[in-house]
Structure 1
Amino acid sequence: MKKLYVTMKVFGFLIVGGMATSCNDSFMDRYPIAEVSPENSFKTARDLELYTNGFYENLPAIKTIIEKDLTTDNVLYTNIPVEQRSDDRTIPSDVGSGGWSWGDLRTVNLFFDHYKQCTDLVARDKYEGIARFFRAWFYFDKVKRFGDVPWYETVIQTGDKDLLYKPRDNREFVMDKIIEDLELAIDKLDNKRASDQVNCWTALSLLSRVCLYEGTYRKYHTELNLQGSDVLLEKAYKAAERVMNESGYKLYSTGNVDTDYRDLFASSDLREEEVILGRRYSLILNKMHNINYYFTSRTQKDIGLTKDFVDSYLLQSNGKPFTSKSNYATMGFYEEMQNRDKRLAQTIRSVGYKRIGDNAIQLPDFAATMTGYQVSKFVSDVSQDGDGASYQDIAIIRYAEVLLNYAEAKAELGLLTQDDIDKSIKLIRNRVGMPNLNMGDANQSPDAIMAAMYPTVTGTNKGVLLEIRRERRIELALEGFRWDDLVRWRAGKLLEPHFTGMYFPSLGEFDLDNDGKIDLLLYKEGNEPQSNASQKVKIGGVIQLTGGDKGYLIGFKDNKKKFDEERDYLYPIPMGDILLNDNLVQNPHW
């Protein structure tokens, strides 16, 4: 039975937060405090609980998380995102647009301005910890997007001109404040595990994410001359290690290597043993989303995973790269799906794919995916296929990420051992019956294709670091991490090539799953032959083949793609905000 949401526990006085928050507000706006008299609204533990419950609505929704991957090399869909079209990017004009919004922060800071009115010191500590977690969450998003940002820890009043017109604080200062908030939250929060509530394990997990991000950002963005990378990476692995050693979380597994990974994301209830923080949805409470519709409907974005991403899945039998096979690049769909990491068949519609609760075998729907690699991760049974009819819960922080953070941070520091791999990467692979990562083998013979993707990875741990990056890309696919990973690794150039899908040696008819039936016809406009194929795809216009009459499915082949290494790792500040505040300086090269 699904729990009721903490986010639904809203009391009358929470109108404070509701009136105060607007996702498009400029930081120049202020709370209508006089209307609700917050001086009288933070007196009891119950007041603090009800107010901080509202913060959970600031967590990303399932569609927001998934769509973040649409900016990356994992996905091809019905548009080229602006992040991959440097020459077409523009500076937002409206105040508070483009992510430069501060309403959520004001809601949190209102708490800090008034929570000490409560005389219950135990409650004050607990809810202060929750508020610090959410302030850290807010600012981490802002630093990732803009770099330097102004730090505020109180509600700005109209007369606070020094705050209203302050310049941006430097990145190092703001990151120190984020870490300070999280470390204080860890000390103040309890250790009771609950996947829809913030506790000390949630804060520790976020600390590991924050410090890994910033530590690697400073290491690989050498042009910025940022200091303290190793200190941050040490904090990252030590925070992860505490969760691993003390929390009791583990990876969700029933022992079924063919379905456990799938079920983790398609479940209508958070898998509490793995999900450290999640967001709940409910049919009963009419708290719904549209993820099934998003991935199965022919009227949405035709999302397909890319050939490059699919190629990254290892061979199941021996854990070697799929790309080590001599003919990997020109395999048909049936052949390339054989003997692969079982997460592949639980992420896309592979050969023999069946919907949850249905015994019918289904092929990829080429009218709903541009690449042929149709997403099945997150997709539940057909009863939830309507627009706004899905109610799978979504994991926002899960234990598998903590394990990956631990392994990567130690590898970056040169401290990783095979024992560390055995208690992190091995556990993730065990769930799907994959061979363990052998550190010595990886470092002795780094994957050449991975090495070409990430040329800045060097040193004695080169091979194992590349494999950890592979593992992260696969395990966390479509969970909103890939863009952040490319940014922190300074790997934006991976966004420049035109992404492709399945390979076809010619136009004509194809038996995709080798069952003796023709499943697909590829033809050019004006030259459609007679065919009994169940699906027909016209080649030309948006969808083409890379070689004209053969090759990989490709979209927008004639459109220019570009990533500006000097500019595009940060987003621009809206022009309206810069005009309002002379002390705001635009990000470099915008």
Structure 2
Amino acid sequence: MKLYIYATVILGTIIAAGCAKDLNQQPISNLTTQNFYVQPADFAQGLNAVYNSLRTYPDRILNLSETRSDNLYAVSDGGVRDWEGINSFHKTIASNPYVIEAWNTNFVGIYRANEFLLALQDRGGVITDEALRSRYEGEARFLRAFYYFDLVKIFGRVPVTEKAVSPDEARQLQRAEVSEVYGLILRDLQFAADNLPNTYAAADRGRATKFAAKGILALVYMMRSAPTYDIKGPGLGLNEYPQALTLLNEIISSGLYTFSASFPNIFSYTNENNSEVIFDVQYATGFNPVLGATFPWLLAPDTWFQSQGKPTQGGLMIRPVSNNLLNSFEATDTRKGFSIQSGYVFNGVAETRSFVKKYIDVSKTPANRVDWPINFIALRYTDILLLKAECILRGAPGTPAEVDGIVNQVRNRAGLTPISGVTLDRLFEERRKEFVGEGSRWYDLIRQGKIDQLIPTWITAEDVQGQMLSFNKNYIIYPVPQPELDAAPGLYPQNDGY
């Protein structure tokens, strides 16, 4: 039986409300952390609050990665929308709500993790099970690393702190160099990998595992190895593909995960926590406060839901899939029909543009648009396999036959014929179609090493409305949010290009 949680822990301006599926927790009163952590159950509840900052992660990467990328031509046809500046490379997006949310929510998660870790250090002795205490620390450090990794991919340099700081202290924290941010991420993920369990009992399903930590750590090594593009972004130009490959092989050899024979089954509402899932953001429906998701409808227009006899959800306008992506699918590729809706009719008017529907099961449409009952998969086994192929193509130990075998396994599931001699560029094209609508495309383009070539060429071919601005390498990362600059004038320099 699935168990659901909600919690509130208040300290100063930070309010934590846990909302993960399958993590058992009872409501608690509003307490400061100074007098809350007094018994073992308090730590279980406090840790769940750290997980809560994952709730908007899916929306964020759909807004800042998927929409930014060549997967979508999200030029609005009905007034200016918040996503338009993201899609069209406006330089004046420091006040964009998506940019502000990315900074704020991740730092709230980091604050919660730091508060929890301090309490665990000072008062964790009430947890007599040493292994449990180490697991709790591993979970909190995994989450802190996860939030910092999200930040460094989005903004490059950010302030780094391993303790919860007051507003006055925060106004003194300079942005750390990217290498320093990664230093904390690496330490935290390595600790998590060493101290987290392989699996959990059903009541704790959804927590970070040893192999979730190893998978994210592998991805960190690979992002650090991306080109610098001569900006202070997430790429450091390192060659850490062998380190990543070692971790990926450990996940594969664990035997805990399997390659699903059915692509749709990976995302089925009746097949959550399946053997493809390594780490996901968990949601539940029908609770008060609401614990459901919003990401399924984020890229889909309300008129489509209405055409299906369903209530509007919040996707007021369409964010069309780019022609470039649509034309990249081979004729027999079954992923296209599952992931993308190619037109519809509403009130007798045909909409010919396509949009992403990957996580939508229309039969599960809730009455409350913020209460969708589906988890978001942040890391899945197919990704591990394709990342392994990428490492081999980058010079890590392995053979071309291994690369071809991995790619053809994915292609076969999609109803495609095998290919040979897979190159890096071909691998990233295969990734693009496999992971459309999962928010990885922008970061894949960064790792590919050709984003500064591919995006300008794509804009020239795709921008039929002439609404997109010119791309330059500074737009690989986002601006520091304007409220952060205003809060402490002179503390942060704005990222170049904004």
Same fold, TM-score > 0.5, yes or no? yes
Letter of the structure 2 residue corresponding to residue 235 of structure 1: Q
Q: Pick from 110, 120, 123: which aligns with 2:115? A: 110
Q: Pick from 216, 219, 243: which aligns with 2:251? A: 243
Aligned to 2:479: 572
Q: Pick from 28, 40, 49: which aligns with 1:45? A: 40
Letter of the structure 1 residue corresponding to residue 92 of structure 2: R
8 Å CA contact 1:268, 1:393 repeated in 2: no
**CA spacing shift, 1:559–1:213, aligned 2, 3 Å:** same
Query: What are structure 1's unaligned runs of at least 5 residues?
Result: 24-34, 254-259, 315-338, 351-362, 443-463, 501-545, 547-553
Following superposition, the deviation at residue 342 of structure 1 comes to 1.8
Following superposition, the deviation at residue 93 of structure 1 comes to 9.8
Q: Pick from 402, 405, 408: which aligns with 2:387? A: 405
Following superposition, the deviation at residue 45 of structure 1 comes to 3.4
Query: What are structure 2's unaligned runs of at least 5 residues?
Result: 18-29, 77-82, 304-314
Deviations 1:50-69 (A, max 9, x none): 11111222114444443341
**CA spacing shift, 1:234–1:378, aligned 2, 3 Å:** same
Aligned to 1:54: 49
Q: More helix per residue: 1 or 2?
A: 2
CA RMSD of aligned residues (A): 3.5
8 Å CA contact 1:77, 1:301 repeated in 2: no
Counterparts of 1:18 and 1:556, CA distance in 2: 50
Normalising by structure 1, what TM-score? 0.68
**CA spacing shift, 1:18–1:243, aligned 2, 3 Å:** farther
Following superposition, the deviation at residue 292 of structure 1 comes to 5.2
**CA spacing shift, 1:45–1:188, aligned 2, 3 Å:** farther
Counterparts of 1:64 and 1:226, CA distance in 2: 17
Q: How does 1:336-415 map to 2 (within 5 A)?
A: 339-349=331-341, 364-365=344-345, 372-384=353-365, 388=369, 390-413=372-395, 415=397
SS of the residue corresponding to residue 36 of structure 1 reads coil
**CA spacing shift, 1:379–1:296, aligned 2, 3 Å:** farther
Following superposition, the deviation at residue 311 of structure 1 comes to 2.0
**CA spacing shift, 1:149–1:381, aligned 2, 3 Å:** closer
Counterparts of 2:93 and 2:281, CA distance in 1: 33
Aligned to 1:305: 321
* Worse-superposed segment, 167-176 or 577-586: 577-586
8 Å CA contact 1:84, 1:562 repeated in 2: no
Letter of the structure 2 residue corresponding to residue 54 of structure 1: A
Q: Does 1:20 align with 2:14?
A: yes
Q: Does 1:475 align with 2:434?
A: yes
Following superposition, the deviation at residue 90 of structure 1 comes to 4.4
Aligned to 2:420: 438
State, as a whole percentage, how many aligned pairs show the same letter.
21
Letter of the structure 1 residue corresponding to residue 124 of structure 2: C
Aligned to 2:309: none
Q: Does 1:585 align with 2:486?
A: no
Deviations 1:504-533 (A, max 9, x none): xxxxxxxxxxxxxxxxxxxxxxxxxxxxxx
Aligned to 2:146: 137
Q: Pick from 162, 178, 202: which aligns with 2:185? A: 178
SS of the residue corresponding to residue 470 of structure 2 reads coil
Aligned to 1:507: none
SS of the residue corresponding to residue 378 of structure 2 reads strand
8 Å CA contact 2:75, 2:467 repeated in 1: no
* Worse-superposed segment, 281-290 or 396-405: 281-290
**CA spacing shift, 1:226–1:189, aligned 2, 3 Å:** closer
Q: Does 1:150 align with 2:159?
A: yes
Counterparts of 1:201 and 1:429, CA distance in 2: 25
8 Å CA contact 2:50, 2:143 repeated in 1: yes
**CA spacing shift, 1:296–1:564, aligned 2, 3 Å:** closer
Letter of the structure 2 residue corresponding to residue 200 of structure 1: K
Letter of the structure 2 residue corresponding to residue 192 of structure 1: T
Letter of the structure 2 residue corresponding to residue 53 of structure 1: N
Following superposition, the deviation at residue 395 of structure 1 comes to 1.3
SS of the residue corresponding to residue 237 of structure 1 reads helix
Counterparts of 1:369 and 1:74, CA distance in 2: 22
Aligned to 2:73: 76
**CA spacing shift, 1:106–1:77, aligned 2, 3 Å:** same
Following superposition, the deviation at residue 581 of structure 1 comes to 5.2
Counterparts of 1:201 and 1:369, CA distance in 2: 46
SS of the residue corresponding to residue 279 of structure 2 reads strand
SS of the residue corresponding to residue 397 of structure 1 reads strand
Following superposition, the deviation at residue 417 of structure 1 comes to 1.1
**CA spacing shift, 1:411–1:50, aligned 2, 3 Å:** same
Counterparts of 2:437 and 2:220, CA distance in 1: 19
Q: Does 1:199 align with 2:209?
A: yes
Q: Pick from 549, 557, 564: which aligns with 2:465? A: 557
Q: How does 1:145-294 map to 2 (within 5 A)?
A: 145-157=154-166, 160=169, 164-192=171-199, 196-218=206-228, 221=229, 229-253=237-261, 260-285=262-287, 287-289=291-293, 291=296
Letter of the structure 1 residue corresponding to residue 363 of structure 2: V
**CA spacing shift, 1:87–1:478, aligned 2, 3 Å:** closer
8 Å CA contact 1:296, 1:385 repeated in 2: no
Deviations 1:524-570 (A, max 9, x none): xxxxxxxxxxxxxxxxxxxxxx9xxxxxxx876142422122x2122
Aligned to 1:447: none
Counterparts of 2:33 and 2:476, CA distance in 1: 40
Following superposition, the deviation at residue 135 of structure 1 comes to 0.6
Q: Which of the pair has more CA radius of gyration?
A: 1
Following superposition, the deviation at residue 312 of structure 1 comes to 1.9
8 Å CA contact 1:92, 1:572 repeated in 2: no
Normalising by structure 2, what TM-score? 0.79
Letter of the structure 1 residue corresponding to residue 465 of structure 2: K
